[in-house]
Structure 1
């Protein structure tokens, strides 16, 4: 079977190690790259050039030619929308870089991707694609796969239980590939994990990895030099996953300054707990969890305002910052939140599990905190459609219809058995292993982890052949 991986920065190194193992079993692996840097990295590893689509090679088609879409190109993009249910405008707004470019450029980029990805997949008879769902390049590939009736999987952590991943279908995390039926062993694992969760209140590994306050680091200088060299060589031309040098410098300075100012003026407070409250947690941004999974709610300040408009006067809204986000947002952003009626901006280092237990309702866009709340039997809703919806009070909810009393009444039927059933289902349809990149988590490319992860890939691919 011919399969493909999409390059995504340092995760390309992780996917490459998995690909090597799959090729030993007879799979023929191809690569889709939005970046010349990572296409060149694959060449250096001995991957044949005819196995790699480097989209940056095709911008020359526009040189001296038409700078706007033809009618046929526009119709082709519209056809993708019809098959996938995803709008091109949404794809552009989901992308943290393309959304800042001129609309004509964005459409030309996506049209070029559409043409050459479709041709590459069809010509090479690729049956399954593995990807992330962060960049527009990945999102349009997912749309193309839907049109071609092929599976595009996004292997990703299932968050709870930790250390496991599943193969999510498409660009969101509403559904994942069904692997097998639940066994007695799955139920035992679920019961043991649930008891441990209630006792120890564990945080996922990725939370600890990312939980760092921005401060100047010496390795930033080497990174800047590397980016300047790539720019001079023209390696990043037409690479819409590359942050420009100026952007990176501005962002790093801004993060450090924001973090310092916040440490001095401290806009946060401890939870007063004087009145009943609803808990809403902010997402780190930019991040696929908010920009892609929760694209319709990606303006978090406006989302908070919508919640406030539906909140009864008997309740306060606790807005808790994500501790991984300190430095990302300005003091002005926090002051805008604090100016809203009946809103308390909560210290990001307060124990979130204790906040959950005291809340009448937990609201998040796509966050793990709703999953955790459900395990405690606390009413929780997500605004995005999420895979843990079977244990939530509501999922993919319309903010205009929120009714706290009704939600709490509906949850009176909460049973431990329902939680165990769901966790057992997660064990049955996920795999041991860490899906990450060696820059964030060096252990992900260890022989032990690659062996575990590859077993999952083998299983999901064998399902395609059966």
Structure 2
């Protein structure tokens, strides 16, 4: 009997939902690691839609304030599993760079890391799962869990967005689509239809709409959240249980208004008649920078290096991400660092990115979806991390920043071709399922009351059963895809994600 371990947290109950369908098609044993609030714990303890042999609650392992971290244990843990802990630690926005509400000390951080390592190691040794079902990693502890599973040779099936609208894949890697089938030929008409159906900017628009909460409602949610008397030892809640929390948010709203005025005055809304290299800013903090590209997460540094590498006749157009409005924009000093570069222009977030892609000669991105979009316009792409499309034709992955000037000049001499487009369409048609995972996820969370703050969710069997019944078709497809991938990976003895190797069906 296969043992399946589910990762469940306040922002993701999808794995639970499709597993209630999967259980009726298989003879699997289910366990769970749950990072949920007290209401989520009560639901999991009381529910009967899915029989669990065990549930391990992550928040119960949080250390006491006076705990002294055992650094020798952490050193031994690193050596045993080959995991660089500081890479994982500094990918956590609440430990580094985005400590708006609370700045934890090194002692607090290492105490949390030690407790987390011990908790996950013990849970995985006790359960000994064949497969783990989880969402895309997005914080310190689920990233550490993912890396530990890989180190222990446990197959992790990640249900992830394909970075384009209406595309979802199940893979062993957060940032790659496993190739399990031979390439398929595609026609010009199929390429046009594909881009219309899977336009990444439709996905961004949907995501922004789902994540936008009116200011008045956000303030009400903040007050409700502050009244909650639970999980105060849980590190994401540090600094969020005082009046200072609300005062900081009022201050951020005012700063957001000032920053917006600054952008209006200091960014361009019309593209000029000049040679352009394009770099769109990433939304931050987000996993795309912190986890996918941990050594290129300083966007100002990357922009400066690109600017230093450009041929003299080119300008670098840097466009702000429109969704940064949700986080009150970047600080004015951030924009000033861009503007002071003489061969760089800051582009207003309202400018349609497609206009820039069509006009530019090269798209550069740290790990953004814009690289996929650029290939549809037959534009070459430079990326700074391993992503879904980093090995496609006309895409160049930077591994040494000293090579940047040479690679930029080489790429700018390339002639437009459709090789990259054909590769995208083939990959997505053969490996992705035509489901909008992000939209489905938001529907699930809306059903259980999440409205901008994870800690306010109140999952109940009635609410989740309603969601499962209303979305049974999509959940059936996701369930079948997991079954298919498990059989495929076992047959081919695959543990790590494969990009190019075609597996035996």
Q: Give the structure-2-normalised TM-score.
A: 0.80
8 A Cα contact 2:179 2:427, kept in partner = no
Distance 2:47 2:220 in 1: 24
Distance 2:65 2:323 in 1: 42
152, 155, 158: which is aligned to 1:148?
A: 152
Q: Kindly indicate whether structure 1 or structure 2 has the higher relative contact order, using CA contacts under 8 Å at least 6 residues apart.
A: 2
Distance 2:487 2:308 in 1: 50
Choose 395-404 or 376-385, whichever is displaced more: 395-404
1:398-425 deviation per Cα after TM superposition (whole angstroms, max 9, x unaligned): 332123321123x33x533552244212
Distance 1:321 1:423 in 2: 28
Match of 2:293 in 1: 294
155, 159, 162: which is aligned to 2:163?
A: 159
Match of 1:349 in 2: 350
Distance 2:147 2:381 in 1: 31
Match of 1:278 in 2: 277
Residue 316 of structure 1 deviates from its aligned partner by 1.0
8 A Cα contact 1:164 1:431, kept in partner = yes
Distance 2:480 2:51 in 1: 25
Are 1:331 and 2:327 counterparts? Answer: no
Residue 102 of structure 1 deviates from its aligned partner by 1.8
1:340-367 deviation per Cα after TM superposition (whole angstroms, max 9, x unaligned): 2211100112121121121121111111
Local SS of the residue matching 1:431: coil
Residue 452 of structure 1 deviates from its aligned partner by 2.5
Distance 2:364 2:41 in 1: 41
Local SS of the residue matching 2:442: coil
1:122-177 deviation per Cα after TM superposition (whole angstroms, max 9, x unaligned): 222211122321111111111211221112232211123x211123434x51x333
131, 144, 152: which is aligned to 1:128?
A: 131
Match of 2:464 in 1: none
Residue 394 of structure 1 deviates from its aligned partner by 0.2
Taking only aligned residues, the RMSD between alpha carbons, in angstroms, comes to 3.0
Change beyond 3 A, Cα 1:250–1:165? farther
Match of 2:88 in 1: 91
8 A Cα contact 1:165 1:430, kept in partner = yes
Are 1:109 and 2:109 counterparts? Answer: no
8 A Cα contact 1:277 1:315, kept in partner = yes
Distance 2:234 2:445 in 1: 28
Residue 238 of structure 1 deviates from its aligned partner by 2.7
Local SS of the residue matching 2:318: strand
Are 1:206 and 2:203 counterparts? Answer: yes
8 A Cα contact 2:239 2:245, kept in partner = yes
481, 493, 501: which is aligned to 1:456?
A: 481
1:354-395 deviation per Cα after TM superposition (whole angstroms, max 9, x unaligned): 211211211111111111112211111111111212134302
Match of 1:235 in 2: 231
8 A Cα contact 2:11 2:445, kept in partner = no
Q: Which runs of 5+ in 1 are unaligned?
A: none
Choose 2-11 or 141-150, whichever is displaced more: 2-11
8 A Cα contact 1:154 1:169, kept in partner = yes
Residue 291 of structure 1 deviates from its aligned partner by 1.3
For 1:300-315, what aligned pairs fall within 5 Å after superposition?
300-315=299-314
Distance 1:215 1:126 in 2: 38
Residue 94 of structure 1 deviates from its aligned partner by 0.6
8 A Cα contact 1:258 1:331, kept in partner = no
Match of 2:216 in 1: 218
Distance 1:296 1:366 in 2: 12
Residue 201 of structure 1 deviates from its aligned partner by 9.2
Change beyond 3 A, Cα 1:238–1:201? closer
